[in-house]
């Protein structure tokens, strides 16, 4: 089974959705939650699940941070052979080395329809731009910011009275659906990765 590490910085609602999915479906084995923030609300949620939690506070030296991160991952047997690392509101950029080692084994969720509105404040960017639809994206992590191969997306219609807060709420609801779905596809080996294109070998997802 795939050993799963979830990296968080804050609220942890995507982590919670993933852990609930993991318990129900039993296709991944969540072994460790790592937070770069002592005060992350998600830590409390993780402890209710009885899962191991490590706090790895931010360091300026990215290489050193990633080295310590890799040590934790190896300790919990989340390896480039059998592991999956899910960034779930993890507000820190990983370095090239770890991304290369765990190629196509690090996923991220972003609250926009990438490649639109990458980076911080994606919902606010969408409202300010005046788009009529936004959504969320699960993608593999590559060396860029929110640029990696796209696995799944879902859309949300923006109404005239939406602001970035109401939009974030609508998008978050969809995030909680597509992140577990993407992990399930990965764990059940239904993702076919060809360069930056990810195809899904699952007829139930076609419409
Ligand atoms: C989510 O909306 C996630 O998409 C976003 O942070 C939030 C974390 O919420 N991530 C990013 O913006 C990454 N660029 P959560 O802690 O409740 O899962």
Please state the atom number of ligand 1 nearest to the C-alpha of residue 10.
16
Q: In this structure, are 90 and 129 located in the same domain?
A: no
Q: In this structure, are 90 and 127 located in the same domain?
A: no
Mean pLDDT of the chain: 97
How many separate domains does the chain show? 2
For the segment 30-89, what is each residue's pLDDT rounded down to a tens digit? 999 999 999 999 999 999 999 999 999 999 999 999 999 999 999 999 999 999 999 999
Q: In this structure, are 27 and 117 located in the same domain?
A: no
164 Cα: distance to centroid of ligand 1 (angstroms): 14
For the stretch 37-75, what's the b/e string if a residue is b when 16 or more beta carbons lie within 10 angstroms of its beta carbon? beebebbebbeeeebebbebeeeeebeebbebbbeebee
Q: What is the mean pLDDT of the segment spanning 116-136?
A: 98
Q: What is the mean pLDDT of the segment spanning 122-150?
A: 98
Which of 9, 11, 14, 106 maximizes ligand 1 atoms within 8 Å of its Cβ, making it the mutation to test the pocket? 14
Q: In this structure, are 205 and 120 located in the same domain?
A: yes
Give the integer Cα–Cα distance in Å for 137 and 140.
Answer: 10
- In 111-206, the DSSP E strands lie at 133-140, 150-157, 191-194, 197-200
> Does position 204 have pLDDT exceeding 80, yes or no?
no
pTM to 2 decimals?
0.97
Q: Could you say which of 84, 102, 120 is where a domain stops?
A: 102
Q: Of 110, 164, 173, 176, which is the active-site residue? A: 110
In the residue annotation, 110 being an active-site residue is answered as yes
> Does position 203 have pLDDT exceeding 80, yes or no?
no
The residues, any chain, with a CB within 8 Å of residue 147's CB and separated by 6 or more, are 114, 115, 118, 139
Q: What percent of the chain shows pLDDT beyond 70?
A: 99
Q: In this structure, are 113 and 98 located in the same domain?
A: no
Q: In this structure, are 98 and 145 located in the same domain?
A: no
CATH number at residue 125: 3.40.50.170
Q: What is the pLDDT of residue 207?
A: 58
> Does position 99 have pLDDT exceeding 80, yes or no?
yes
Q: In this structure, are 137 and 182 located in the same domain?
A: yes
Which of 6, 15, 94, 110 maximizes ligand 1 atoms within 8 Å of its Cβ, making it the mutation to test the pocket? 110
Q: In this structure, are 123 and 87 located in the same domain?
A: no
Please state the atom number of ligand 1 nearest to the C-alpha of residue 122.
12
| Cβ(156)–Cβ(168) below 8 Å | no
Whose CA is closest to atom 13 on ligand 1? 110
Q: What is the pLDDT of residue 202?
A: 85
Q: Could you say which of 52, 74, 102 is where a domain stops?
A: 102
Q: In this structure, are 17 and 68 located in the same domain?
A: yes
76 Cα: distance to centroid of ligand 1 (angstroms): 24
The owner of tokens 């990215």 is 62
Q: Could you say which of 70, 102, 134 is where a domain stops?
A: 102
Q: What angle do CA 196, 140, 58 make, to 5 degrees?
A: 140
> Does position 205 have pLDDT exceeding 80, yes or no?
no
Q: What is the pLDDT of residue 206?
A: 65
Q: What is the pLDDT of residue 89?
A: 97
Q: What is the pLDDT of residue 165?
A: 98
Q: What is the mean pLDDT of the segment spanning 140-168?
A: 98
Q: What is the pLDDT of residue 45?
A: 97
Please state the atom number of ligand 1 nearest to the C-alpha of residue 16.
18
Q: In this structure, are 153 and 169 located in the same domain?
A: yes
Pocket of ligand 1 (CB under 6 A): 8, 10-14, 42, 88-89, 109-111, 122, 172, 175
Q: In this structure, are 164 and 67 located in the same domain?
A: no
* Domain range for 184: 109-207
Q: In this structure, are 51 and 120 located in the same domain?
A: no
């Amino acid at each position: 089974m795939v050993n799963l590490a979830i990296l968080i910085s804050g609220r942890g609602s995507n982590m919670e959705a993933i852990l609930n999915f993991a318990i129900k479906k039993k296709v991944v084995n969540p072994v460790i939650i790592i937070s770069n923030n002592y005060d992350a609300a998600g830590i409390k949620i993780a402890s209710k699940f009885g899962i191991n939690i490590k706090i790895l506070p931010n360091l300026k030296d990215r290489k050193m941070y990633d080295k310590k991160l890799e040590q934790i991952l190896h300790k919990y047997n989340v390896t480039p052979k059998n592991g999956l690392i899910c960034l779930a509101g993890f507000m820190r950029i990983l370095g090239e080395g770890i991304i290369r080692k765990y190629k196509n084994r690090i996923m991220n969720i972003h609250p926009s329809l990438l490649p639109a509105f990458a980076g911080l404040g994606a919902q606010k960017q969408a409202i300010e731009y005046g788009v009529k639809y936004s959504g969320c994206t699960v993608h593999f992590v590559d060396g860029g910011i929110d640029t990696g191969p796209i696995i799944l997306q879902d859309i949300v219609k923006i109404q005239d009275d939406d602001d970035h807060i109401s939009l974030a709420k609508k998008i978050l609801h969809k995030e909680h659906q597509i992140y577990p779905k993407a992990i399930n596809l990965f764990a059940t080996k239904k993702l076919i990765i060809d360069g930056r294109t990810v195809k899904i070998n699952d007829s139930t997802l076609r419409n």
